[in-house]
Structure 1
Amino acid sequence: MADARRDFAHKLSTQIIRDNQAVYVEDLCVKGLARTRLAKSVHDAGWSQFVAMLEYKAGRYGRTFAKAGRFFPSSKLCSACGAVAGTMPLNIRSWTCPCGAVHDRDVNAAINILAAGRAERLNACGGTVRPAA
């Protein structure tokens, strides 16, 4: 069973890296999630191993890979106005921002992680600022 899961993770990570120029993920506290009722799901999914596969394959194929910080409020940050909601338990799957936008928690987190990854990528270009004389 473990070999089948690992094989699936390898095939999926290769497909994701080949099909996309940039991949952004959220750095989850897997140890912390392993102590909750989500432990079986987190370990079965092999999230840490899957992210490691994405990271080394992105380097191999010349793709951009970035992780959003562990404390980045991806699911509580309004993607429309930028307001941060208060504490929100995991059982709340959708919420309404004071600006009037209604957010699905997972879709909103995906939008915010993409925006954070793009912002980091555009700000960290490196290289020389001025062309050579």
Structure 2
Amino acid sequence: ALLNAPLIAGNDLRVMSPVTRGILLDRDVIAVNQDRRGKQRQRLQDDGEQEVRVKPMTDGSASVVHFNRGFSDREIGITDDAVGLPSAAEYRVLDLWTKQQSTTTDELRARVPAHSVVAYRVWLT
């Protein structure tokens, strides 16, 4: 979703499972991919097991993806400054997969299961 590129499905669209359909048609994830600004993501951290990438969005928000390639759960954090957002008293956070909304005041922290990824969109409030 962080790369601005055409979305191409290589499966038979007539027989998609509901789970696959939900992933491929997720409006929030597609909005990140198809952002008009066209700015590609930046790698902020990568230690071989965990990686954080950020993509600035047209509306001033940022999309943040935490990858965990390791064999155990990891707590991953990134500051508002590193994400590229101006300082604010509070930020609104949307988990792009679970659709849970939350707020944070300075650092975006996520518990990322082993061999998994979490994706967020972050706005100034």
Shared fold by TM > 0.5?
A: no
Question: As a proportion of its length, which structure holds more strand?
Answer: 2
TM-score interval, smaller chain: under 0.3
The structure with the larger Rg is 1
TM-score by length of 2: 0.24
